[in-house]
Structure 1
Amino acid sequence: MAVAVWAAVRRRPVAFLWSRWPLRAWAFLLTGTLQGAVSLLVLAVLVVLGVVLSVVGVGLLVLAGVAVLGVPLGALERRRLLLVEPVPLPDPHGSLPGAGAAAWLRTRLRERATWRELAHLLLHSVLFTASGLGFVALLGLSLMLLVTPLIVWAISPDTVMLIPGHPISEPLAALPGSAAGAVGLVLSAYAGCLLAGAEVWTARWLLAIRDEDLGGRVVELTRSRARLVDAFEAERRRIERDLHDGAQQQLVALSMTLGLAELELRGQHPAAAELVTRARGEAKQALAQLRTLVRGIHPQVLTDHGLPAAVAEVALRHPVPVTVDIDLPHRLPGPVETAAYFTVTEALTNAAKHSGADRIEVVAHLDRGTLVLLVTDNGRGGADPAAGAGLQGLADRVAILKGRLIVTSPVGGPTRLRVEVPCSG
């Protein structure tokens, strides 16, 4: 991206002089010089204070504050760039909502952008402040020379001297000084453009966001999503355990109690015995439904014996004949097995409900450390992955593991679901 103030000079080098660009560049340099001088003073005081207090340990905190001093000043500099740049620089730092001071400091010290901002602070406070002071001197002298006739007219004659020993007695004699001031203003316009562009280029190099910053954010986002999935899996297994050890056992005990009551009432109260028999049947039905629910939350066979056994068990219960060919040399990581299992169950459920297929095939193997899973049915096809949330949820789960899910379903079939998940994720 071109520097805007430099591009303005290249497009119209003469018309640039009476455009707004010189004033914008001057305002940028004047504010930058003032900011740089104050920053240099604050930086020097903090460094000296940190070194002096380091003997008692407090100085280390002060020096850590010096290290992150570039963060707020970098944010201020990015806002100040809007004086000469139409497009603002994005903040390279990730947001830390709710983080305390200690967590904020630790995070910022680990970010490369923090150290680039500190480098910009040092460079701006020393080099650009010095060049800015030189520019201020040139601009101030040029303006003073330009208005010399007014100064001579307003002040009594023989008191203004452009050259030592040569007093000016009348305003007309100060016109050469005005001409020199006009030349100085022209030089100030182009010099201001050059210096402002150099500061903009440096700020882009040190203060703008980089691919490594985005990479860090992507990694942190992926980790946070993975932590959410792990927490969800832990909560789901807790619910499974509670149902298995709590509600399921209570239903078994209820069924046994009803059975005993049925034996007691069978000869004495046939009508009551019939009601108890019906209640016992409903309890058995509720227990069967609960066992199916628990098995669907997270099948124990998947935990104990792995993906091939779990998929084979699902295939045996499926109303459509399913051929399973899963050739894995070893157990896969837990998240990979879970994602693959629920992908198979979702695909089999969709095939039974919508495809009209009479044959389904499940094939899985490892290809250079990546699980490749294929579920194919010979149904009518025309499946739309965007029509429901099931496949979209599976795609999100696979994406967290750096994998991908591909659905191919032309009209007339067959429908093929392909999942690729790296086992090293």
Structure 2
Amino acid sequence: MTSGNAWQALRRPGLLRSAWPWRSAGYLLLSGLAGLLAGIGLLVCVTVAGVLAVVLVGLPLLAALALAGVPFAALERRLLRLVDEAPVADPHRAPDRPGLAVWLRLRYRERATWRELGYTALAAFVLWPVDLVAVGFVVVVPGQLLASPALLALDGEQVNVLKVWQVHSPAVTVALALAGAVLLAALAYPLTALAAGRAALARLLVEPTGSELRIGELVSSRARLVDAFEAERRRIERDLHDGAQQRLVALSMSLGLARLDAPAGGPLAGRLADAHREAGEVLRELRELINGIHPQVLADRGLPDACADLADRSAVPAEVAFDLPGRLPAAVESACWFAVSEALANTAKHSGARRARVTGRHAGGRLAVEVWDDGAGGADPAAGSGLTGLADRVAVVDGTLTVSSPPGGPTLIRLEIPCTPLTP
């Protein structure tokens, strides 16, 4: 193929020697048949749904008809490859979690769904007769003219050309065959132009718009940024753990050995003791820093054990109860762990609570984690309590945060993150 689409083929010489006229005829024929079948199907479904709507049974069928354009547009995007080699992107976003209800809710909210429904109605009730009539005229008229010598030979006496002209002479049928060849070549140009225009209209309605492409790219880029951020944070944690922390451990051990060799009670022993103590404090702070960047227990054992570790180190006694089917994506576990860590820190700083509770479960394709405390309540995101940053961190993984904290308490922080377990 020398051209990328039918429009380019029309502007270049050699159209009749290429496959584009035949591809254009095939596109119009298949699109016309698809539109005819879609029109019959829509009429039958609307009729049945209208009859059954009296007893409310047809209402779900009517609602499902709104999605009829989704498979029809998917077929059209495939047929477009006959007259345009450039692929047509799918305008629909993939659901963020499995389940039919999630898929239906997403499709009904997308503008592409309703645009495709409009195109399906246009193809089913307006375009298909044009497609089939154009292909039929190009194929039938020149085809019968080309076949007139063979038909006369089979009959032996006469041939009815186009049902309007009786021909008895073989010479006339040869002339008609030549005219049919010329007519077929001449009609190849308008047929290709019609297919190109028909394809341009279809592409306009079934291809994603600029805003849809930008939204899809934003979603993809945000996912890539989240993964890159998590990978970089793990790298920093690993470098600190394997590098600076190990050197501090070796330094602390060397200072401890030096204290054993130093004369007891002398000024050198006192300075070594101070240096040894200071090295221990630095090591402890570094370990806290490493744990804050990305806790090792989270990477090794998952979210429940990491939250249990948070509860053990919390200033407010906290219970932990998780019911998860397996490990979750690293970005989800990390965001959830930091949210729980911030929530427990806020509980210790601001609530005056005597006890707290962290619960989590995965159901319906969503991870739901709740942090409850019996403190004084009155948590206000606008007051600088850290809840705004917590909500931003959860939003990075498409999560939502809700806070219930009436004055007098209790406070309940609930976060939901769509995700799919990685391992059982």
Query: TM-score band, normalised by the shorter chain?
Result: 0.5 to 0.7
Q: Which residue of 2 aligns with 1:70?
A: 69
Q: Which residue of 2 aligns with 1:149?
A: 149
Deviation at 1:102, TM superposition (A): 3.2
What is the one-letter code of the residue matched to 2:199? Answer: V
Deviation at 1:89, TM superposition (A): 0.5
Q: Does 1:241 align with 2:311?
A: yes
SS in 2 for 1:131: helix
Deviation at 1:184, TM superposition (A): 2.9
Q: Which residue of 2 aligns with 1:179?
A: 178
1:281-292 equivalences under 5 Å are none
What is the one-letter code of the residue matched to 1:53? Answer: L
Q: Give the Cα–Cα distance (whole angstroms) in 2 for the partners of residues 48 and 81 of structure 1.
A: 31
Deviation at 1:42, TM superposition (A): 0.6
Q: Which residue of 2 aligns with 1:50?
A: 49
Deviation at 1:72, TM superposition (A): 0.9
Q: Give the Cα–Cα distance (whole angstroms) in 2 for the partners of residues 41 and 164 of structure 1.
A: 30
Q: What is the CA RMSD across the aligned residues, in angstroms?
A: 4.1
Q: Give the Cα–Cα distance (whole angstroms) in 1 for the partners of residues 164 and 388 of structure 2.
A: 91
- Normalising by the residue count of structure 2, what TM-score does the alignment of the two structures yield? 0.54
Q: Which residue of 1 aligns with 2:10?
A: 9
Q: Which residue of 2 aligns with 1:138?
A: 137
SS in 1 for 2:161: strand
Q: Does 1:334 align with 2:386?
A: yes
Provide the identity percentage. 32
Q: Which residue of 1 aligns with 2:18?
A: 19
Instruction: Show structure 2 runs of 5+ residues with no match.
Output: 231-297, 319-337, 351-381, 398-424
Higher Rg of the two aligned structures: 1
8 Å Cα contact 1:37-1:125 kept in structure 2: yes
Deviation at 1:150, TM superposition (A): 1.5
* Deviation sequence 1:311-343 (CA, Å, 0-9, x none): xxxxxxxxxxxxxxxxxxx7446255569xxxx
Q: Give the Cα–Cα distance (whole angstroms) in 2 for the partners of residues 40 and 6 of structure 1.
A: 29
Q: 1:50 to 1:188 in 2, by over 3 A?
A: farther
Deviation at 1:126, TM superposition (A): 2.5
Deviation at 1:65, TM superposition (A): 1.8
Deviation at 1:214, TM superposition (A): 3.7
Q: Give the Cα–Cα distance (whole angstroms) in 2 for the partners of residues 336 and 97 of structure 1.
A: 24
* Deviation sequence 1:323-371 (CA, Å, 0-9, x none): xxxxxxx7446255569xxxxxxxxxxxxxxxxxxxxxxxxxxxxxxxx
Q: 1:300 to 1:166 in 2, by over 3 A?
A: closer
8 Å Cα contact 1:153-1:170 kept in structure 2: no
Q: Which residue of 1 aligns with 2:240?
A: none
Q: Give the Cα–Cα distance (whole angstroms) in 1 for the partners of residues 316 and 384 of structure 2.
A: 31
8 Å Cα contact 2:7-2:196 kept in structure 1: yes
- Normalising by the residue count of structure 1, what TM-score does the alignment of the two structures yield? 0.54
8 Å Cα contact 1:32-1:129 kept in structure 2: yes
SS in 1 for 2:87: coil
1:306-325 equivalences under 5 Å are none
Q: Give the Cα–Cα distance (whole angstroms) in 1 for the partners of residues 76 and 45 of structure 2.
A: 20
Q: Give the Cα–Cα distance (whole angstroms) in 2 for the partners of residues 169 and 106 of structure 1.
A: 68
8 Å Cα contact 2:50-2:58 kept in structure 1: yes
Equivalent position to 1:304, from 349, 368, 386: 349
* Deviation sequence 1:184-233 (CA, Å, 0-9, x none): 3124311221221112111221111123324554677769999xx9xx9x
* Deviation sequence 1:170-192 (CA, Å, 0-9, x none): 32111332233223312431122
Q: 1:400 to 1:96 in 2, by over 3 A?
A: closer
1:257-296 equivalences under 5 Å are none
Q: Give the Cα–Cα distance (whole angstroms) in 2 for the partners of residues 3 and 211 of structure 1.
A: 22
SS in 2 for 1:192: helix
8 Å Cα contact 1:81-1:200 kept in structure 2: yes
8 Å Cα contact 1:68-1:118 kept in structure 2: yes
Q: 1:156 to 1:97 in 2, by over 3 A?
A: farther
8 Å Cα contact 1:135-1:192 kept in structure 2: yes
Q: Give the Cα–Cα distance (whole angstroms) in 1 for the partners of residues 53 and 394 of structure 2.
A: 51
Q: Give the Cα–Cα distance (whole angstroms) in 2 for the partners of residues 46 and 185 of structure 1.
A: 40
1:15-414 equivalences under 5 Å are 15-96=14-95, 99-139=98-138, 140-158=140-158, 160-162=159-161, 167-217=166-216, 239-244=309-314, 298=342, 300=345, 304=349, 331-332=383-384, 334=386, 400=396
8 Å Cα contact 1:3-1:200 kept in structure 2: no
Deviation at 1:237, TM superposition (A): 6.5
What is the one-letter code of the residue matched to 1:156? Answer: G
Q: Which residue of 1 aligns with 2:278?
A: none
Q: 1:397 to 1:123 in 2, by over 3 A?
A: same
Q: Give the Cα–Cα distance (whole angstroms) in 2 for the partners of residues 224 and 17 of structure 1.
A: 48
SS in 2 for 1:115: helix
Q: 1:123 to 1:161 in 2, by over 3 A?
A: same
Q: Give the Cα–Cα distance (whole angstroms) in 1 for the partners of residues 389 and 165 of structure 2.
A: 94
* Deviation sequence 1:67-95 (CA, Å, 0-9, x none): 10110111111111111221211111122
SS in 1 for 2:314: helix
Q: Give the Cα–Cα distance (whole angstroms) in 2 for the partners of residues 224 and 333 of structure 1.
A: 29
Q: 1:21 to 1:214 in 2, by over 3 A?
A: closer
SS in 2 for 1:167: strand
